[in-house]
Amino acid sequence: MTATQDDVVRLTSFARCAGCAAKLGLGDLAEALGGVPVHSDPRLLVGREGFDDAGVFVLRDDLALVQTVDFFAPIVDDPYEFGQIAAANALSDVFAMGGEPLTALAIVGFPSGKLPLSILTDILRGGSDKVREAGAVLVGGHSIIDEELKFGLSVTGQAHPQKLLTNSAANVGDVLVLTKPLGTGLLATAGKQNRLDSQARNALHASMRALNATASRAALAHGAHCATDVTGFALLGHSSHVARGSNVTVRLDGRALPELPGARALWSSGVRTGGAERNERFLAPLVDWTRARPEDIALALDPQTSGGLLVALSPDRVADYLSAVEGSVQVGVVEPRGNTLIVLE
Ligand code: CO
Ligand code: CO
């Protein structure tokens, strides 16, 4: 088929669910994986047990592979931008482990015959440019015909086995810093309902396109050993992985949570996402949010696409980190394990 300049293709209409980066719920995923035997290998330094961001496989005393894969349906209508966002999101899991991306493979589901191939070219161009920006190389990929448009990457990076950012290394007394504002799920959903002004839309897209490279490198440079990226399971879900992995309680300050323009207000005016509902169902028993404001709880349950890093830093390094990483905000502290994994107030 051919496309002219006049054709208006709404890429997001090729995503079946609203704001669709929809992941399988955390509870469902844990249940499904429970039936899959674990084959341990001494070289597998970080496997699936801690719900960490990527697998880490040791090659030498000073060298490990960091591997991850992520893909989803369009969350924006511009194909080049969708490619950039999907790539930034997939690369993020390598940065969230303290790795440097080396190579990437593209994963494509394409509604062949329903969309012009030029759309796929633009998506791949966006992905390839973002991979290059991250210092890595797009080396190939695999595509299938699919009703739902999907794009993402499998990324391989490298790290030093002693200089990782895992979920299990938070220390009591550490300060938690978040490097991007929350609210991508709420804003993307509002966008689908044409309830977003251009300023909010631009802020949403810029945030999702941004790499977590600087946040990750600065974390290592400031002595951090624990970080995760905030994605589909929301700030609370990913914080719960840190709390469980490190055997601590994470205390979050709801009022301090940074938001994309209007995110709390959109929730207050009735915008809802299926992802937040799934997150709430799974997380309710793990979080004490009795003293938190409803709009802060909503922000902390909002599923993120290409969200920022949550970094645990020693208190004496926080000020330096905040000035090194633009947009980063102190959001909480790490405490001894209490009654719940998380306290949000
Ligand atoms: Co992650
Ligand atoms: Co991921």
Which of 45-54, 108-117, 220-229, 314-323 is the least confident region? 45-54
Distance 43 CA to ligand 1 centre (A): 21
Of the bound ligands, which one is closest to the alpha carbon of residue 212? Answer: 1
- Sign, CA dihedral 38-40-43-46, equals positive
Mean pLDDT to the nearest integer, 262-272: 98
Q: Concatenate the DSSP letters of all residues of 24-82 into one string.
A: PPHHHHHHHHHTS-----TTEEE-TTTT-SSEEEEEETTEEEEEEEEEE--SSS-HHHH
Sequence-ordered list of residues with C-beta below 8 angstroms from that of 34, at least 6 positions apart, any chain:
none
| Domains assigned to the chain | 5-159 (3.30.1330.10), 175-344 (3.90.650.10)
- Give the burial class of 272: count Cβ atoms within 10 A of its Cβ; 0-12 exposed, 13-18 middle, 19 or more buried: middle
In this prediction, residue 20 carries a pLDDT of: 46
Share of the chain above pLDDT 90, in %: 86
Distance 4 CA to ligand 1 centre (A): 38
Residue 8: pLDDT band (50, 70, 90) is low
Mean pLDDT to the nearest integer, 74-80: 95
Which residue out of 11, 15, 18, 20 is catalytically annotated?
20
Distance 4 CA to ligand 2 centre (A): 36
In this prediction, residue 108 carries a pLDDT of: 96
Of the bound ligands, which one is closest to the alpha carbon of residue 310? Answer: 1
- Nearest residue to 332 via CA among 318, 75, 160, 43: 318
Distance 90 CA to ligand 2 centre (A): 7
10 Å Cβ neighbour count for 39?
7
In this prediction, residue 21 carries a pLDDT of: 47
In tens, the pLDDT along 94-121 reads 999 999 999 999 999 999 999 999 999 9
| pLDDT(235) > 60 | yes
Q: Which residues pair with 150 in a beta bridge?
A: 109
Of the bound ligands, which one is closest to the alpha carbon of residue 154? Answer: 2
In this prediction, residue 7 carries a pLDDT of: 54
10 Å Cβ neighbour count for 35?
6
User: Active-site residue 17, yes or no?
Assistant: no
Rounded CA Rg of the chain: 19
Global confidence as pTM: 0.93
Residue 29: pLDDT band (50, 70, 90) is confident
Angle at which helices 234-246 and 294-301 cross, to 10°? 70
Mean pLDDT to the nearest integer, 130-155: 96
Specify the amino acid at residue 170: A
- Nearest residue to 176 via CA among 274, 258, 79: 258
Neighbours of ion ligand 1 (CB under 5 A): 53, 93, 96, 229
